[in-house]
Amino acid sequence: MTSSERTFTVLGHRGAKGHAPENTLPSFEKAIELGATMAELDIHLSRDDKLVVMHDKDVDRTTNGTGEIRELLWEEIQQLDAGSWYGAEFAGARVPRLEEVFDAVADRILINVEIKSGDTPYPGIVERLAKLLTDRNLIERVVVSSFEVSYLKALRPLLPDLELALLYSKPRPDVCQEALDEGWQALHTHLSQVSKPFVEEAHALGLIVRGWNPNEVDGMRPLIEAGVDGIGTDYPERLVELAKEQGVL
């Protein structure tokens, strides 16, 4: 299976955030174990230009360290404990680099790389990601998403065959036309902006729609009924069960 085939996607948010420390290897392993077909993760750029897998722009909330990723060296980040804050059984889990996640799990699960900004976009992050995807031959296994349009615009000509997804959460007039004009294949749409007519419009134009990020079955069901192509969630196992019940998986 490649990322661009339109099959229903069980998208594990930051791995399986409901069960393991987000954006760590244990979280991605858990997502696989629970039946996710794609794992979402977030990347930032360290001071020495390494692609660091973390949600926040600083390490404070999810490690035992402090400081902004753009100010820290990889040598400093790799020493941090990214598991103890979540639970003693995860003590010693490390902050991974994107390469490490790819090496550990990309042959078993598709990956959705969300490129983050700190207060401002990271210069060079798009080029580094493009090189890594090319070197590892992962164009068919990865979807890249971002709220930051400038990243998607920069990536498009670098990797014409890579699936790109616009992330958005507020009403965005003409978003389908915007995606077509920019050559983006998918819309990663906050659940509040998903409706059946919207999904039908997107599908008629050949666009993929994935909704994010309900954690309760009652929040997932309307998205499936609207016809989305996938759903992001902290609890992949709940979505797997519902999607099977609803006949989309």
Positions that interact with Mg ion (CB under 5 A): 42, 114
Nearer to ligand G3P, 29 or 42 (CB): 42
Residues 10, 23, 40, 237: which binds ligand G3P (CB under 6 A)? 40
Q: SS3 of 43, please?
A: strand
Q: Identify which of 115, 118, 145 has the alpha carbon closest to the alpha carbon of residue 47.
A: 118
Catalytic annotation on 55?
Answer: yes
Amino acid at the residue 233: T
Residue 95 is encoded by which pair of tokens? 């902050």
Name the phi and psi angles at 87, rounded to 5: 180, 145
19 is a catalytic site residue: no
Q: Is 237 in the site for ligand G3P (CB under 6 A)?
A: no
The verdict on 42 binding ligand G3P (CB under 6 A) reads yes
Instruction: Quote the least distance from Cβ 114 to ligand G3P, whole Å.
Output: 5
For the chain, how many helices (H) and strands (E)? 9, 9
Burial class (CB in 10 A: 0-12, 13-18, 19+), 156: middle
In the window 139-158, what residues touch ligand G3P (CB under 6 A)?
A: none
For ligand G3P, the binding residue among 29, 58, 114, 148 (CB under 6 A) is 114
**Active site residues per annotation:** 13, 55
**Binding interface with ligand G3P (CB under 6 A):** 13, 40, 42, 55, 114, 167, 188, 212-213, 232
